[in-house]
A and B are shown apart, each in its own frame.
Chain A
Amino acid sequence: MTAAAATALQLCTFRLGPLYLGVNVLDVQEVLYQAEVCKVPHAEPGISGLINLRGQIATTIDLRTRLEIEPRDPEARPIHVVVRSGGESVNLLVDKIGDVLAVDPDLYEPPPETMSGIAKDLILGAYKLEGELLLILDVDKTVAIRPNNGEGAN
């Protein structure tokens, strides 16, 4: 990990309720400030719908629901962070977009064992920034929402 310091990891950061989150900036395709989300009935919780991303359909995931944080104020307008995962573009809804930070790998620490809930699966670890923890989101796991059952149909 020491050699990696030269090419310090760049993180795209955003805020989600009480959380300060980051993903590798290379995973981020673009950030949209406005997009109309088409709801998908019967979709798994966490999936808010689909957006038109310049002619392609991108699944939209509300990170609040995904990370089991209380729902966003219906008046508040979320920010769309489009990430690439598994060859497709997935749109993540966050509250506020932050800066792109170059972080010092020495500040990284894996999550504590005591972390519970869905976050345990989705948070890779944290960077101990001054005054605040920056949690690193596992993009692939976050977007991998699979139906547990056959949707009642069939």
Chain B
Amino acid sequence: MDEIIGEFLVESYEGLDRLDQTFIDLEETPDDTGALTEAFRILHTIKGTCGFLGFGQLELVAHRGENLLSLLRDEVLEMDNDIADALLATVDAIREILGVIEETEEEGQHDNAELIARLEVLSGQEPAAAPEPPAEDTPDAAASPPAEAAPAADGAAPVEEGEAAAPPADTDAAAAAGVVLLNPPADDTGPADGEATLADAFQAAAGESGETAPPASEAPSAPTDAVAEEAPSEPPSPEPAAPAAGSGDDDRIGDILVADGAAKRDDVEIAATEQSLGDKRKIGKILSDDGRAEPAEVEKAASKQRGAADSTIRVDVAVLDTLMNLVGELVLSRNQIVQLASDEEFREFAGPAQRLNLITSELQEGVMRTRMQPIGNIWNKLPRVVRDLANQFDKQISLEMEGKGTELDRTILEAIKDPLTHMVRNTVDHGIESPEIREAAGKNTEGILRLSASHEGGQVNIEISDDGAGIDPDRMRTKAVEKGVITPEAAAAMSDNEAVNLIFAPGFSTATTVSNVSGRGVGMDVVRTNVERIGGSVDVKSKVGQGTTFKIKIPLTLAIIPAITVRCGGNRYAIPQVSLQELVRLDSNDPSSRIEDLHGAPVYRLRESLLPIVDLRERLGVEPEEDNGAVNIVVLQLDGKPFGLVVDRIDNTEEIVVKPLGAAVKDIALFSGATIMGDGKVALILDVVGLAAAADIVNAGRQGDSSIEADHGQHGGAIEVTDQVLDDRTLLLVAFDEENRAAIPLSAIERLEEFDQDRIEDSGHQTVVQYRGSILPVLDLGPTTGMGGSALGLGPRVNSVVCNYHGLSVGLAVGSILDIVSHAEVHTSPGGGVETAIINGNVTDVIDVDSLLQQYVPMPDPIGAVL
């Protein structure tokens, strides 16, 4: 594609995106002159550029839109819904034409007569016969007195035109079209200089006619300026002249210096004159060379100027992708070299390898940063989407955004763009109710749709929440059964949360009518697939009548991640460090630290909390290496739930480059990809989510059939129990001795602890143990209740169940802890008091912890002193 057209398209698209937002903002705050001016400027730029590129239809549309805007800006008209619609339609029409231009480089045929007529009617104009060339933009010039803020914006527009598309060859055409053009600033002149020079060119073109124009601080740098020679031959146009005066104000180095008090206005003018007389040095250079300004100040001003102007360049994404790939390869080679250099034999390599290591890391970070983009880039399109949809459905919705600046790798951004839009559409369509319904429900008629994004660890959390109707789990169940997604039995067994999550099931759409927005079959399952494809997860929480929240978690970047490598059955595996919590090595000679069996579920007591254990070798179906006298546990966490992964050996941590798996193996849930290690061999990357799911770690909570949820807090709690999973009917089965057992409702239990026998002391009237810096009363449960023998003095360690009694922790010493029984049938004896349950065919007493402790433990006084 022609480079000029390409640039024009990129700039115009960007402008249009901003326009969308601006118009929506303007509907809210119609008197925002800044926004109006901005909108005007963007349209003006498009109009001007397409004028000399010869896109007449596009120009016409843009021109009419611009006219309407100018009337708004001059407060002849008030912004209202009709005008906003018309303006947005203009944006759409322009976008459509641009699309055709992008494909064919030709404008194509578009029937915009209706839109143009509409715009003209709104402008209070008789439909005009022919478009006016942009430079003879008399309505503008006439409507706006020169040298005010608004014309200043006009001036800014041609400046961009000049930058956007101005190879020398086009100068003639441009001049003919009445658009003042400038060659892109050559070599050492930065873009800002170019603008300033262009502004000056305008001034030259206008024959210094702008009365209110401040004195020129920079004259055109003659050799690069073909325009300066040609422009004067054109009739001076009042429009560019006046703005030229105003527009450069912020950008010119002389003005910055003057504003900072670093140079005198007169000196700047002298320098400018010198420059206009053929001095090719920059203004700042002249000033500092002549000793009229401190070089340091000039430097400062220059950087300010760069900041004020556009300090960015456009880089083809493909270039960045290539760079990223190369960096990936470099990281691999680096790993290889670092590994080699660690060998004693190559000791002299250690230094260079170290440096290579450092530089590679920094390079990697830098390249990564070039690919980071704020999520706002994709959110910017959403206000328009929401507005249009809300209008279409007669809903009132306010869109709130938080964390627009949260940065993500562009590939990820690309990948979540569509899912995100789809979810927002869904929310507008199905989530938020119509104003009448909302009013009836006692809510504000205006629904709120909130988007928020934030970094958390190596992840980005995105939330889409609304205060709408929520998702009815029962309706989800019914629908799912109707559609054959699940069986009625499965539906009945589902928790509400699971039922709500059915929204992600393939072939599921609860919309009763298919609107043209959502409910077209491309459903939330696609959203989930897309999010999961990039290593993310999506979850939904909903309360009927109160709203729905979708939570998306995605990795920051996909390409290079820190990971720990482990060995298992002779192969190496990489585990993303995001999920890594700690590493534990158990000496098999030490009986006190070992993996224990909790009724078939292996657990390890990690700092007095039970850590569910998953044996990777078992999961992978490989033979463990020979026993090397230790058990290595990699403690991982998922959704805040830790679990231990037993591996043969733990190697080290390193940066790995994630490579996708081939089609034949990519569906194996245990692996998320592969990588190439320093020695050139392949290692698989373990998918912690898949692993946990395979081991029922994550499903445990959802299914409600397993009740152990270890506490992940800093205080090192043991078995802690989440309320929604458990009810009173989940019991902890304990034994006092060989024969006697009892059950304790899990809801009454805080933790399970194990104390050394020696630590248990008798304080005179109470058995206590020092525990977490305070003193824990211990009740010997067997003798106290008369249900069995004493638990104290049986062995070196005492098992105890810690219960909470009105804010006071009390340990119940028991012989051993046997099991957790869910859905136990608890019977209350007719006389009340003792409850029994049938567990494994035996009738077992259920201890009423509250009434028990009431008898034996004094109510703690308000200060909380136990003794």
B: contact size bracket: 20 to 34
- Provide the residues of chain B in CB contact with A59, threshold 8 Å: 661-665
Shortest Cβ gap from B144 to chain A (Å)? 57
A29 in the interface, Cβ–Cβ < 8 Å? no
- The answer to whether A57 and B664 touch across the interface, beta carbons within 8 angstroms, is no
- The answer to whether B682 and A143 touch across the interface, beta carbons within 8 angstroms, is no
The residue among B665, B667, B669, B671 with the most chain A CB atoms within 10 A of its own CB is: B665
Report how far A44 CA is from B674 CA in the complex, Å: 17
Known: A50-B684, A52-B682. A151 touches B669 (CB 8 A): yes
- The answer to whether B662 and A153 touch across the interface, beta carbons within 8 angstroms, is no
B329 in the interface, Cβ–Cβ < 8 Å? yes
The residue among B332, B660, B671, B674 with the most chain A CB atoms within 10 A of its own CB is: B674
- Provide the residues of chain A in CB contact with B693, threshold 8 Å: 153-154
- Provide the residues of chain B in CB contact with A143, threshold 8 Å: 663-664
- The answer to whether A154 and B676 touch across the interface, beta carbons within 8 angstroms, is no
B285 in the interface, Cβ–Cβ < 8 Å? no
- The answer to whether B682 and A57 touch across the interface, beta carbons within 8 angstroms, is yes
B620 in the interface, Cβ–Cβ < 8 Å? yes
Nearest first, the 10 closest Cβ-Cβ pairs linking A and B are: A59-B662, A153-B694, A153-B669, A38-B682, A41-B620, A145-B664, A57-B659, A57-B674, A50-B682, A52-B676
Q: Which of chain A's residues has its CB closest to B333's CB?
A: A55
Q: Which of chain A's residues has its CB closest to B669's CB?
A: A153
- The answer to whether A146 and B694 touch across the interface, beta carbons within 8 angstroms, is no
- The answer to whether A146 and B664 touch across the interface, beta carbons within 8 angstroms, is yes
- Provide the residues of chain B in CB contact with A147, threshold 8 Å: 667-668
- The answer to whether B661 and A146 touch across the interface, beta carbons within 8 angstroms, is no
A88 in the interface, Cβ–Cβ < 8 Å? yes
B277 in the interface, Cβ–Cβ < 8 Å? no
The residue among A41, A52, A58 with the most chain B CB atoms within 10 A of its own CB is: A41
Shortest Cβ gap from A20 to chain B (Å)? 25
Report how far A61 CA is from B668 CA in the complex, Å: 16
Report how far A52 CA is from B660 CA in the complex, Å: 12
- Provide the residues of chain B in CB contact with A3, threshold 8 Å: none
- Provide the residues of chain A in CB contact with B332, threshold 8 Å: 55
Interface string of A69-112 (1 = CB under 8 A from B): 00000000000000000101010000000000000000000000
Report how far A143 CA is from B664 CA in the complex, Å: 7
- The answer to whether B571 and A38 touch across the interface, beta carbons within 8 angstroms, is yes
* CB contact list, A12-51 vs B, under 8 A: 36, 38-44, 47, 49-51
B683 in the interface, Cβ–Cβ < 8 Å? yes
- The answer to whether B676 and A57 touch across the interface, beta carbons within 8 angstroms, is yes
- The answer to whether B694 and A40 touch across the interface, beta carbons within 8 angstroms, is no
B145 in the interface, Cβ–Cβ < 8 Å? no
- Which positions in B face A, CB cutoff 8 Å? 328-329, 332, 569, 571, 619-622, 659-665, 667-671, 674, 676, 680-684, 690, 693-694
Report how far A145 CA is from B693 CA in the complex, Å: 24
- Provide the residues of chain B in CB contact with A86, threshold 8 Å: 663
Q: Which of chain A's residues has its CB closest to B662's CB?
A: A59
A152 in the interface, Cβ–Cβ < 8 Å? yes
- Provide the residues of chain A in CB contact with B620, threshold 8 Å: 41-42
Q: Which of chain A's residues has its CB closest to B691's CB?
A: A153
- Provide the residues of chain A in CB contact with B661, threshold 8 Å: 50, 57, 59
The residue among B332, B664, B683 with the most chain A CB atoms within 10 A of its own CB is: B664
A150 in the interface, Cβ–Cβ < 8 Å? yes
Partner of B668, one of A39, A42, A56, A58: A42
Report how far A47 CA is from B683 CA in the complex, Å: 16
- Provide the residues of chain A in CB contact with B684, threshold 8 Å: 38, 40, 50
- Provide the residues of chain B in CB contact with A115, threshold 8 Å: none
Shortest Cβ gap from A27 to chain B (Å)? 16
Shortest Cβ gap from A135 to chain B (Å)? 22
- The answer to whether B669 and A150 touch across the interface, beta carbons within 8 angstroms, is yes
- The answer to whether A56 and B659 touch across the interface, beta carbons within 8 angstroms, is yes
Q: Which of chain B's residues has its CB closest to A90's CB?
A: B662
Report how far A42 CA is from B676 CA in the complex, Å: 20
- The answer to whether B694 and A154 touch across the interface, beta carbons within 8 angstroms, is yes
Report how far A50 CA is from B668 CA in the complex, Å: 13
Q: Which of chain A's residues has its CB closest to B673's CB?
A: A57
8 pairs, CB–CB < 8 Å, chain A vs chain B? A38-B571, A38-B681, A38-B684, A57-B674, A57-B676, A146-B664, A151-B694, A153-B670
Partner of B329, one of A38, A55, A57: A55
Report how far A43 CA is from B666 CA in the complex, Å: 9
- The answer to whether B667 and A36 touch across the interface, beta carbons within 8 angstroms, is no
Partner of B662, one of A55, A57, A150, A154: A57
Q: Which of chain B's residues has its CB closest to A51's CB?
A: B682
A144 in the interface, Cβ–Cβ < 8 Å? yes
- Provide the residues of chain A in CB contact with B669, threshold 8 Å: 150-151, 153-154
- The answer to whether A47 and B621 touch across the interface, beta carbons within 8 angstroms, is no
- Provide the residues of chain A in CB contact with B667, threshold 8 Å: 146-147, 151
Partner of A41, one of B622, B662, B674, B683: B622
Q: Which of chain A's residues has its CB closest to B664's CB?
A: A145
Q: Which of chain B's residues has its CB closest to A38's CB?
A: B682
Report how far A43 CA is from B669 CA in the complex, Å: 10
- The answer to whether B690 and A153 touch across the interface, beta carbons within 8 angstroms, is yes
Q: Give 6 A-B pairs besides A36-B680, A41-B569 with Cβ atoms closer than 8 angstroms.
A: A38-B684, A40-B684, A41-B621, A41-B622, A42-B670, A50-B684
Report how far A58 CA is from B680 CA in the complex, Å: 13
Interface string of A128-154 (1 = CB under 8 A from B): 000000000000000111110011111
- The answer to whether A58 and B662 touch across the interface, beta carbons within 8 angstroms, is yes
Report how far A41 CA is from B681 CA in the complex, Å: 16
- The answer to whether B676 and A61 touch across the interface, beta carbons within 8 angstroms, is no
Report how far A152 CA is from B676 CA in the complex, Å: 27
Partner of A36, one of B659, B674, B681, B690: B681
- Provide the residues of chain B in CB contact with A36, threshold 8 Å: 680-682
Q: Which of chain A's residues has its CB closest to B681's CB?
A: A36
Report how far A86 CA is from B332 CA in the complex, Å: 27
Q: Which of chain A's residues has its CB closest to B670's CB?
A: A42
Shortest Cβ gap from A61 to chain B (Å)? 7
- The answer to whether B663 and A57 touch across the interface, beta carbons within 8 angstroms, is no
Shortest Cβ gap from A14 to chain B (Å)? 20
Partner of A88, one of B619, B663, B683: B663
Shortest Cβ gap from A85 to chain B (Å)? 9
Shortest Cβ gap from A25 to chain B (Å)? 22
The residue among B329, B659, B663, B667 with the most chain A CB atoms within 10 A of its own CB is: B663
